[in-house]
Amino acid sequence: VSTQSTWVHNYVMAERCKLQGLHDLHAKLMINLLQYITHIPADKAFHEAGLAAQHASMENQKRKPYWMSYCFVLWGRYLDLAELLEDPDATSDLLDASPFKGTNIPSDFPIPRRHFVPHETVDRLRQWVLTASLDKSFEHKLPDEEVTLSPELEEIFATIQQGRIPSVLQQRR
C-alpha cells in the first residue's frame, strides 16, 4: 500500500467520522495524519488536527483537558508555520522539534509557500493560543500518553489503519 493511498484513506475516514459525530475518533485520525506532512501541506494538517481536537474537547467534557492540550500544541505549531510562510527561504529545521519528540511527526518537512487559511483566521488562532496559554485547566504540552479511545473506537481505528472501511463508516445507499 502506498503512502499516498494510506493518508488519503485516513483522511476520508476522518471526514466520515466527523460527519457521523465520532469526534474523538476524528481527532485521533487527524492527529495521525501529521505523520504524512512530508506529503501533505503541514500548515493544513496542523490547523485541521487542532480544529478536530477542539471539536473533540467540546463534545467530550470528561476528556476536555486532554483534547485542549492537543489543540494548544497543534495550533501553536500551526502559528509557527504561518510565520515561516512569510520567509521564502525558511525550512522546517528553524522550528523547535522538542514538542513532538517521541512522536511519529516528522521534524523535516517542506514549508508550504502560501497560507491554507485567511489571515483573519491566523489572527483569531493567535488570539486563541495567547488566551489559552493563561488557562490552567489543561497542560500546555502534548499529553504523555498516546491518543486513546474507547475499545469500540479503537477497534474502528485499527480497521482504518489496516486500509479497510469499518461497517459503521460505510456509506449507506
| pLDDT tens by residue, 69-85 | 999 999 999 999 999 98
Please tell me which of 1-5, 65-69, 142-146 the model is most confident about, judged by mean pLDDT: 65-69
> Measured at the alpha carbon of residue 111, what is the angle toward residues 108 and 114, in degrees to the nearest 5?
165
Q: How far is it, in rounded angstroms, from Cα 71 to Cα 142?
A: 9
Q: Which of 105-134 are b and which e, b meaning 16 or more Cβ less than 10 Å from the residue's Cβ?
A: bbeebebbeebbbeeeebeebbebbeebee
Compare 163 and 91 and report the one with higher pLDDT: 91
Please report where in the chains the cell 495524519 appears, as a residue: 33
Q: How far is it, in rounded angstroms, from Cα 20 to Cα 118?
A: 27
Question: How is 141-168 classified by DSSP, letter by letter?
Answer: S--SSPP---HHHHHHHHHHHTT---GG
Per the prediction, the chain carries an average pLDDT of 91
CA–CA distances in Å: residue 93 to residues 13, 15, 97, 111, 153:
31, 31, 8, 10, 35
Residue 74 grid cell = 497543534
Query: Is residue 172 over pLDDT 60?
Result: no
Which pLDDT does position 168 carry in this prediction? 83
| pLDDT tens by residue, 127-136 | 999 999 999 9
State how far Cα 64 lies from the chain centre.
Answer: 16
**For 148-160, what is the mean pLDDT?**
86
Which pLDDT does position 111 carry in this prediction? 94
